[in-house]
Structure 1
Amino acid sequence: MLYEQIVGQEEPKHRLLKMVKEERVPHALLFSGKEGCGNLPTAIAFSQHLYCTDKKETGACGICVSCNKVSKLIHPDLHLVFPIAKSKEVKSSNDLIKEFREAVLQNPYLTLNGWFNEISAENKQPLIPVEEANDILKKLSYTSYEGSYKIMLIWQPEKMNAESANKLLKILEEPPEKTIFILVSNNPEQLLATISSRVQQIPFYSNSEEEITNALIANYKVNADVAKQTAILANGNYSEALSLLTQNEESVSFLSNFQTFMRLALKFDCGKALNWIDENATSGREKQKQFLQYSLEVFRDSLMFNYGDKNLVRLSGSEKDFLIKFAPFVNKKNYEKLVEEFNSNYYYIERNANPKILFMDLILKTNELINLK
C-alpha cells in the first residue's frame, strides 16, 4: 500500500512523511477517524514506508523486498491485532490472521461490519480479549526478525475490554526499543482515557464528494454522473462508496424507489404500500439504510432549491428534473420533521428493528407531513 493509493487525507500523509524523513517517529500513534476515512490503509502505507529499504520523497518505493512483504501483510515484524468473535476455536487474532489478511488485501477500506460478514459472525460481539494482550506482550518481548522496527498495528482498539487495555498500559508508555504501536480507531472516544493519554493522535477526516468522485473515476472507470451520485450517497465514507458500486455496477440511483415511496405517501394506497414494504423489507439492511440516506439528500436539496442557492443543489440529470417537481412538497413546516423521521428509521434499521413495521409507520407519517398545509 502506497500513500498515493489512499483517497485524500493529504494532511495526515504529510505529517507521516515528515516523521519518517526526520526520523522522529513516536512510539505510539492513534490514527482516528470515521469509518471509510482511510486510516487503516494509511497505517499499512506508513508501515511499508518505515520498512522500505529504498525510501523516496513520496514514501515507500513499492518494489523492494520489504515493500513486497508489507504489501502482502506478511512482514515478520508487522503484527496485526483486530476484533474477533471469541469462541472455543478462536481466542485471538492469531486464529484468524489468514482470513483477515485476505479481507484487507481485497478491500483496504475494510469496515468492522464487513470483517464480521467475512467470518460469518454478524450477530456476535466484536472483542479484543485479554488473551490478545498476553499475545502482544509475548510478541514484543522477542527481537525483531529483520533488525528493524517491530510494529504492532491494532485495528479497532476501542474493542479491547478493560482487562485487555489495562494490561497494555505499561508497554504503551515504555515500549521496547524500536517498537511502534499504531492504533487505528473509528471511535476514539470509546478508548480508555489511560490509553488515549499515551498515544499521539493523528486525526483523519471524512473525504469530500470531489475526492470520492475523482477516485471512483480514476480507479474504477465509472461514469462521471454515477461517480458523483455515489459520492453523495457515501456521505464522506469511501468504503460505503465502494459498497454502493459493488451492489449495483450500472447505476446507484434510488430515484425510482423514492418516487414510488413518495407517491404512496402523498396518496396512501394500502395494497400498494404493503407491496412496496414487502419488497423493501427483504432488500437487506444496507440497501434500506442507503434508501433512507438518499431520501435525506433529496430533502436537503429540495429545501436548498426552495429557499437557498440553487447552485448548491447536488442532484443532477433526471434526479434534478424530478427535484423541480418534488421540491414544493418540502417546506419550512415539515422539513425538520421529515429529517427526524428518516434519521430515526436509519438508527433503528442499524439496530435490527423490524423493517416492515418501520416502513409502514414511515409511510403514514410522511403522508401526514407532506400533506401539511
Structure 2
Amino acid sequence: MQFNRIIGHQALKQQLISTVKENRVSHAQLFLGPEGSGSLALAVAYAQYINCENKQEQDSCGTCPSCLKYEKLIHPDLHFSYPFFAKKAEETASTYMEEWRKAFLENPYLSLTHWRSQLEAENKQANINIAEAHDIIKKLSLKAFEAEYKVLIMWLPEYLDTQGNALLKLIEEPPAKTLFLLVAENQDKILNTIISRTQLVKVNKLNHEELSSYLIQEKNIDPTRAHEIAFIADGNIQEAIDQLAEDSNANFDMLIRWFRFIVTDSGLNIIQLCEEELSKLGRENQKIFLIYSINMLRQIVLAQNGLSAMLFLKGQELEFVQKFSEITQPEQLTVAIDLLEKTHYSVERNANPKILFLDLSLQLVLLFKYNTFPQGTQYI
C-alpha cells in the first residue's frame, strides 16, 4: 500500500514521511481515526515506506522486493493482529490470515462489520484473545528475516480487554528495530496502560470534497449523486461504498412512510412497518437505513439554520427536507438524531430489531406528535 493510493490526508502523509527521513520513528504509535477514515491503510503505507529499499521523496518505490511483498501483505517481517471470532481458545489471528489478506486487499477501508462478514462469526463476539497476545510476544521475539524493522500492525486494540496487559512490557521495551502500530477508532475503549505507552497519530475523517472527488473519479459516479452520498457517508469511505450498493429511493420511500405514521401517531401502521419491513431488512440494511435517516434529519437542521447552500439533495428528498423543517424544532431534531444513533449502536450489537424499531418509533411519536422529550434529555 503506497501513500498515493490513499484518499486525502496530505499533511499527515508528509508528517509520517518526515519522521522516517529525520530518524524520529517512535517504536509504538497509535493511529486514531473514525471508521472509514483510512487509518489502517495509512499505517500499512507507513510501514511499507519505513522498510522500502529505495525510498522516494514522497512515497515508497513500490517496486523493490520489500514493497512487492508489502503490497500482497506477505512480507515475513510484517505481522497483523485484529479482532476475530474464535471457535477455539487456542486460535490466533494467524488462523484467519488468508481471509484478512483478502478482505484488506479488496477494501483497505473495511469496517469491523465487513470483516465479520468474511468469517463464520455467527453470534460470537469479536475479541483479541490471550492466545493472540502470547503469539505476538513469540513472533516479535524472533530476529527480523530480511527487513530493517519488524512491524506489528494491530487493528482495533479496543478489543484487547485485559489481555492487553500481557503486551505492556513488550510495547514499552520492544526488541531493537521493532515497531508497534496500533489502529483504533475509539480511544475511550483502549486500555489506558497501552495509550500511555504510545505516540498518538490523529487521523481526521475525510472532508466532503475529498470523498465526493473519490466517488466521481474512482467510482465514475454522477457529481450530484456523489455529493449526496458523500454527505450521507460523512467522511466514512466504507459507508460511501455501502451507499453505492443501495437503492436510495427505497430508503427514501421507507423513511417517508415511517415518518408519516409517526407524526400522525398511526399505531397499527407503525407496528406493521416495524414487524414486517424494518425488522426484516437485515442488519446491514437496517444500519444503512438508520444512517440515511440520521443524515436526512441533519439536512433539515441545515435548512432550519438558513444553510441551504450546504444541502446536497434534489427532487422529493429536498422537498421533504424543506417541509419537515417547517413543522419541527431544532431541539426535537437533536433528540431524534440521538435516538437514531443509539438504535444504530444497538443494531450493530445484534439487539432484537422488532423491539428496537418499535421502541424507537414510539419515542419519535412522543417527540414529534406530542412534543414530549424522553427521560434523561436536557430539553425536559
Residues 49-68 of structure 1 mapped to structure 2, 5 A cutoff: 49-68=49-68
Q: Which of 278, 295, 298 is equivalent to 2:296?
A: 298
CA distance in 2 between partners of 1:324 and 1:173 (Å): 55
Q: Aligned-pair distance for 1:285?
A: 2.0
Give the Å deviation of 1:158: 2.3
Please list the CA deviations of residues 226-248 of structure 1 after superposition, one character each: whole Å capped at 9, or x if unmatched. Answer: 22221122122111111222345
One-letter amino acid matched to 1:330: T
Aligned CA RMSD, in angstroms, stands at: 2.4
Query: Are 2:216 and 1:217 equivalent residues in the alignment?
Result: yes
In structure 1, the residue matched to 2:36 is: 36
Match of 1:178 in 2: 177
**Distance (Å, rounded) in 2 between the aligned partners of 1:60 and 1:192:** 33
* C-alpha spacing 1:137/1:223, structure 2 compared with 1 (3 Å): same
Name structure 2 gaps, 5 residues minimum. Answer: 372-380
1:280 and 2:278 aligned: yes
Number of residue pairs matched by the alignment: 370
Offset at 1:317? 4.2
Work out the CA distance in 2 between the residues paired with 1:189 and 1:269: 40
Superposed displacement of residue 61, structure 1? 1.4
Task: Give deviations 1:106-152, integer Å, cap 9, x for gaps.
Answer: 11112222212211215212222222222222222222111421111
Sequence identity percentage: 37
Corresponding letter in the other structure for 2:68: N
Q: Does 1:197 align with 2:216?
A: no
Cα offset, 1:200, TM superposition: 1.0
Q: Deviations over 1:40-90 (max 9, x none)?
A: 111111111122222111111122222111010001111111122223386
Equivalent in the alignment of 1:352: 350
2:375 maps to none
Q: Using a 3 Å threshold, how does the CA distance of structure 1 residues 338 and 173 change in structure 2: closer, same or farther?
A: closer
User: Which residue is 1:93 aligned to?
Assistant: 93
Task: Output the TM-score relative to the length of structure 2.
Answer: 0.89
Which stretches in structure 1 are left out of the alignment for 5+ residues? none
Given that 1:37 and 1:206 are in contact with CA atoms closer than 8 Å, whether structure 2 keeps it comes out as: yes
Partners of 1:32 and 1:334 in 2: CA distance: 32
Shift of 1:21: 1.6
Once residues 277 and 35 of structure 2 are traced to their aligned partners in structure 1, the CA distance between those partners, rounded to angstroms, is 29
State the Cα deviation string for residues 205-251 of structure 1 (Å, max 9, x = none).
11122211111112111111222221122122111111222345xx5
Runs of 4+ in 1 over 6 A off after TM superposition: none
Tell me, yes or no, if the aligned pair for 1:233 and 1:290 is still in contact at 8 Å. no
**Residue 259 of structure 2: which of 254, 259, 262 is its match?**
262
CA distance change for structure 1 residues 8 and 187 in 2, over 3 Å: closer, same or farther?
same
Distance in 2 (alpha carbons) for counterparts of 1:49 and 1:214: 26
Partner-residue secondary structure (3-state), 2:148: coil
Q: Is the 8 A contact 1:116 1:122 kept in 2?
A: no
Does 2:233 align with 1:237? no
- Cα separation, 2, equivalents of 1:142 and 1:134: 13
Preserved contact between residue 265 and residue 363 of structure 1 (Cα < 8 Å): yes
C-alpha distance in 2 between matches for 1:32 and 1:259: 37
Give SS of 1:142's match: coil
Deviations 1:266-287 (A, max 9, x none): 4455564455331221111222
SS at match of 2:245: helix
**Per-residue deviation at 1:202?**
0.3
- Please give the alpha-carbon distance, in whole angstroms, between the structure 2 residues aligned to 1:19 and 1:161: 30
Q: After alignment, is 269-278 or 111-120 more displaced?
A: 269-278
The residue number in structure 1 matching 2:138 is 138
Aligned in 2, Cα 1:368/1:168: closer, same or farther, shift over 3 Å? closer
Closer, same or farther: CA 196–343 of 1 in aligned 2, 3 Å = closer
SS of alignment partner, residue 80 of structure 2: strand
**Could you tell me how far apart the structure 2 residues matched to 1:133 and 1:36 are?**
26
Q: Which amino acid aligns with 2:161?
A: N
Between the aligned partners of 1:351 and 1:49, the Cα distance in structure 2 is: 37
Distance 2:161 2:323 in 1: 52
Question: For 2:34, what is the secondary structure of its paired residue?
Answer: coil
CA distance in 1, matches of 2:331, 2:140: 61
Q: Quick one: structure 1 residues 179 and 326, their matched pair in 2 at CA, closer, same or farther if it must change by over 3 Å?
A: same
Cα distance, 1:25–1:368 mapped onto 2, change above 3 Å:
closer
Please give the alpha-carbon distance, in whole angstroms, between the structure 2 residues aligned to 1:142 and 1:296.
49
Cα 1:370–1:57 change in 2 (3 A) is: same
Q: Is the 8 A contact 2:77 2:149 kept in 1?
A: yes
Secondary structure, counterpart of 1:294 in structure 2: helix
Provide closer, same or farther for how the CA distance between residues 216 and 90 of structure 1 changes in structure 2, counting only shifts above 3 A.
farther
Are the aligned partners of 2:157 and 2:184 in contact in 1 as well (CA < 8 Å)?
Answer: yes
Secondary structure, aligned partner of 2:87: coil
- Looking at structure 2, the residues matched to 63 and 145 of structure 1 have their Cα atoms a distance apart, in angstroms, of 19
Counterpart position of 1:342: 340
Structure 2 Cα separation of the partners of residues 275 and 45 of structure 1: 49
Equivalents in 1 of 2:146, 2:345: separation in Å?
A: 48
Alignment of 1:24-173 (within 5 A): 24-88=24-88, 91-162=91-162, 164-173=163-172
